[in-house]
Amino acid sequence: MSSLKTIREQKNLTQEELSEKSKISVRTIQRIESGTEPKGHTLRALAQTLEVEESELKDQPQITNETDEIETGIEEKETPVNYSYIKMINLSSLIFTLLPPLNIFVPLMLMFVMKQKNSLARQIISVQMIWTVLAPVTFMLGIFLKFGKQFTLILMILIVLSNVFIILRNAAEIDRNKKLYFRLNFSMI
């Protein structure tokens, strides 16, 4: 059974309903479900509509030519996802919420040690990188606005709690739906 058909049935959608939501023809969906590999716009539209990673819609890993890898510089292959490891990588940031550089480096080290070089692990680290940049900027803006010491203390607490919330919400989403709740449309690593 094709990945698309499996995911479509899990979401309780007919081919016609998926076609309507994704703006991909029913005939194209039928071809993909019978073995044709989705590509480009079709792959992106179906993945977005079904709220899954594009890699989940591919039935078999693409076989690439060694010369293509050398010419394009693509040598790294995405590893299979172990969701318990992904959850550990995510929760490792929680321990170092008060030490911002470590909330990036520890998950990054765990990603390599646990051999989880996949898009979920990269997204977790990318979100922490963005938070690490935005937290001091927000704090500095709060200081420059000169609302007083109490405001500064409350702002610091809110900044830390925002990261705790992001980490815990992502952990819950990994458990429920095997994806991240807070993620970026790009990867920083």
Q: Determine whether 155 is exposed, middle or buried from the number of CB atoms within 10 Å of its CB (0-12, 13-18, 19+).
A: middle
Q: Looking at the domain assignment, is residue 49 inside a domain?
A: yes
Q: Is 61 in the same domain as 87?
A: no
Q: Is 95 in the same domain as 58?
A: no
* Residue found under tokens 């993909």: 32
> Residue 70: what pLDDT?
42
Q: How many independent structural domains does the chain possess?
A: 2
Q: What is the pLDDT of residues 1-35, one digit of tens each?
A: 688 888 888 888 899 999 999 999 999 989 888 88
Mean pLDDT of 41-47: 90
Q: Is 123 in the same domain as 65?
A: no
> Residue 169: what pLDDT?
94
DSSP state letter for 51: T
Q: Is 54 in the same domain as 92?
A: no
Domain that holds residue 13: 3-72
Q: Looking at the domain assignment, is residue 31 inside a domain?
A: yes
Q: Is 102 in the same domain as 164?
A: yes
Out of 51, 72, 93, a domain closes at 72
What is the token pair recorded at 150?
């109490």
DSSP state letter for 82: -
Q: Is 112 in the same domain as 46?
A: no
Q: What is the pLDDT of residues 55-108, one digit of tens each?
A: 888 765 444 444 444 444 444 455 678 889 999 999 999 888 888 889 999 999
Q: Looking at the domain assignment, is residue 189 inside a domain?
A: no
Q: Is 66 in the same domain as 110?
A: no
